[in-house]
Structure 1
Amino acid sequence: MAYEQFSRLYDDLMEDAPYDQWVTFVKRASKFADRPIHHILDIGCGTGEISLRLAQLGYALTGVDISDDMLAIAQEKALEDNRLFPLFQQDMRELSLSDTFDMAIIFCDSLNYLESLNDVKETFIKVYEHLNGGGLLLFDVHSLHKINELFVNRQFCLNEDKVAYIWESFPGPEPNSVYHDLTFFSELPSGLYQRFDETHFQKTYSVKEYLNALQEAGLCCLNLSADFTSLAPNEESERVFFIAKKDLGS
Structure 2
Amino acid sequence: MSYEQLAYVYDHLMADAPYDSWVRYLCEETEHFQAPGNRVLDLGCGTGELSIRLIKKGFDVTGVDMSENMLAVAAEKAGKEGVVFPLFQQDMSKLEGLPEYDIATIFCDSLNYLSTPEEVRDTFRHVHSHLAPEGLFLFDVHSTYQMAQIFSNQTFTLNEEEVAYIWSSFPGEEPHSVEHDLTFFVLDEESGRYDRIEEFHQQRTFPVRDFINWLQEASFDVLSVTTDFSDAPPEETSQRIFFTCRKK
Name the TM tier (shorter chain).
over 0.9
Distance 1:246 1:223 in 2: 13
Q: Give the superposition deviation at 1:33.
A: 3.5
Q: CA deviation at 1:98?
A: 3.2
Pair 1:243 & 2:244 matched: yes
Contact 2:35 2:136 (C-alpha < 8 Å) held by counterparts: no
Which residue number corresponds to residue 92 of structure 1?
92
Structure 1 unaligned blocks of 5 or more: none
**Distance in 2 between residues matched to 1:105 and 1:44, nearest whole Å:** 8
> Is the Cα–Cα contact under 8 Å of residues 114 and 202 in structure 1 kept in the other structure?
yes
Q: C-alpha separation between the residues in 1 aligned to 2:8 and 2:156?
A: 20
SS of match in other structure, 2:52:
helix
Unaligned runs of 5+ in 2: none
* Residue pair 1:2, 1:198 contacting (<8 A) in 2 also: no
CA contact (8 A) 1:156 1:168 kept: yes
Q: CA deviation at 1:13?
A: 0.3
Structure 1 residue 81 displacement after superposition:
1.9
Could you tell me which amino acid in structure 2 is paired with residue 121 of structure 1?
R
After superposition, the C-alpha distances for 1:187-244 in whole angstroms (9 at most, x for unaligned) are 1121111112111000000000000110111111000110011111101110000001
1:74 to 1:43, Cα distance in 2 relative to 1, 3 A: same
RMSD (Å), alpha carbons: 1.0
Aligned equivalents of 2:38 and 2:176: distance in 1? 36
Given residue 159 of structure 1, which amino acid in structure 2 is its aligned partner? Answer: N
Q: Report if aligned partners of 1:33, 1:135 keep a CA contact under 8 Å in 2.
A: no
2:36 and 2:134 in contact (8 A); partners too: no
1:172 pairs with 2:172:
yes
The amino acid of 1:6's aligned partner reads L
SS of equivalent residue, structure 1 residue 175: coil
Percent of matched pairs sharing the same residue? 50
Residue 197 of structure 1: aligned partner: 198
Q: Is the 8 A contact 1:106 1:138 kept in 2?
A: yes
Matches within 5 A, 1:43-82: 43-82=43-82
Q: Is the 8 A contact 2:134 2:247 kept in 1?
A: yes
Is the counterpart of residue 125 in structure 1 residue 125 in structure 2? Answer: yes
* 2:216 counterpart letter in structure 1: Q
CA contact (8 A) 2:2 2:66 kept: no
The answer (yes or no) to whether the contact 1:30–1:37 under 8 Å persists in 2 is no
Look up the equivalent residue of 1:112 and give its one-letter code.
N
CA contact (8 A) 1:223 1:243 kept: yes
SS at 1:183's partner residue?
Answer: strand
In structure 2, what is the equivalent of residue 83 of structure 1? 83
Aligned residue number for residue 9 of structure 1: 9
- The alignment of Structure 1 onto Structure 2 pairs a total of residues equal to 247
Q: 1:1-50 CA deviation, whole Å, 9 max, x = no partner?
A: 35221001100000010000000000111134445431000000000011
Give TM-score scaled by structure 1 length.
0.96
- Matching residue of 1:110: 110
- Residue aligning to 1:153: 153
